[in-house]
Amino acid sequence: MQSKKIKGYAILINVCVALVCLIALFSGQSHAMWYEAKGRAIILNGDKETAKREAIEEALKQAMLFSGASIKSVQQLTNGLLENEEMTIRSTGEVEQLEIIDERYNGEVFTVSIRADIFPASQQCAAISDIKRFATTHFLIPNRQQLTEGNIRHLDEAVTKRFADLMANTTDTLRLSYIAPHTAKFKSEFTEQNVRSLSQRGNSQFVIVGTIDDLSIKKESASIFTPWADDSVDRYFGMTLHVFDGINGGKLFTKSYNTHAQWTFDRFAQIDEFSNYFWHSTYGRAAQKLMIDAIQDLKEATACQPVTGRVVNVAGDIISISLGRDNGLQDSDELVLYQAKEVMDNKGKKYLQYSLYPGVFVVENTFANSSTIIHKNSGLVANIQENDFVVKK
């Protein structure tokens, strides 16, 4: 029998099953919007109430994320279904009402459909709906000795790939679009240089430097009072993310995440870290839930960061830039160009200094990952050079 202590880690938070649709019952940005969403949870040890709560939380989370809201926790529902817990909705939305419109049990899975009345904030930053693109390397595992149990020596690659898939499936504005095929440990004195290089190689504004800190095993032997019980094996999953703006410079976000769950594999098993069998295990689901939480933190940290790209070519009065439809750019969008240069103070410390080009530039043609722009009024492009920067107005 599985222990109750792992219930919270065995929730089936598989975003592929989350169905979110907008019901057009509003007439403007200032009115409430109704959203429907579906969530699922596995029933462990016959505990249907816990499964129901987790499914409702997942459904509400999907509705909130689809509406553009950013949430820290979904533990208290406005109709009192979950009491004495706390929900924090950060700045971009508020749940006015929540209704359960369908619930059903199917074997060991509880499925619930909800309808939430979400009232958007009166003011949102202009960049909240823009596509944010990330680059990274395989997440570093400092203690590779911990990989021997289960022989999961490719876990760094598998976790990074799964992180990219979850980012695409759980958000509509974040994409991990470039993964360098190696791990990297940036020395502190070269971090900024390496971040900028990785950003440029991946044609991505943001860079993630990730480490998988803890994969240790915790074993609990069967009690002398219950010699018939099997030994229990838990495994930890710890991860730290550092997120940088690879174009404008500076660290945006640093946070560590930790969880643990039952390790159901034999000690000498040869595990395929990329397989659904692994990621649908109790441990795999717990690790995915942790990664989804991290992704939502990334969404919040970058939500209001303006989308920035580079000038890649100047030909006459036509300027080609590294932003395109994949970044949410459209014909006739207005952009600002600027030049960045490095200056040094008398103590040898380096700073970035920005100089704006006069006027506004407009998108003439958009392609998948690039666009051409021209000056909105004069057509002058004097002094604009490759590797200058462009930001969506």
pLDDT, one tens digit per residue, over 248-301 is 778 898 999 999 999 999 878 889 999 999 999 999 999 999 999 899 899 888
Whole-prediction pTM: 0.69
What whole-number distance in Å separates Cα of residue 300 and Cα of residue 205? 16
- Cβ(304)–Cβ(127) below 8 Å: yes
Q: Mean pLDDT across the stretch 118-146? A: 81
Residue in 89, 137, 127, 90 with CA at minimum distance from that of residue 242: 137
pLDDT, greater one: 159 or 115: 159
Where helices occur in 23-78 by DSSP H, the ranges are: 48-66
Q: 292: which 2 tokens?
A: 């989804």
Q: Which residues pair with 80 in a beta bridge?
A: none
pLDDT at 363: 93
Does residue 152 register a pLDDT over 90? yes
- Output the CA–CA distances (angstroms, integers) from residue 172 to 30, 169, 295, 370, 378, in the order listed: 22, 8, 12, 20, 36
Q: Mean pLDDT across the stretch 213-224? A: 77
pLDDT tens, position by position, 106-128 = 877 888 888 877 665 544 567 77
What whole-number distance in Å separates Cα of residue 307 and Cα of residue 315? 23
Q: Which residues pair with 336 in a beta bridge?
A: 391
Q: 364: which 2 tokens?
A: 């003439």
pLDDT tens, position by position, 11-42 = 333 333 333 333 333 333 344 567 777 888 87
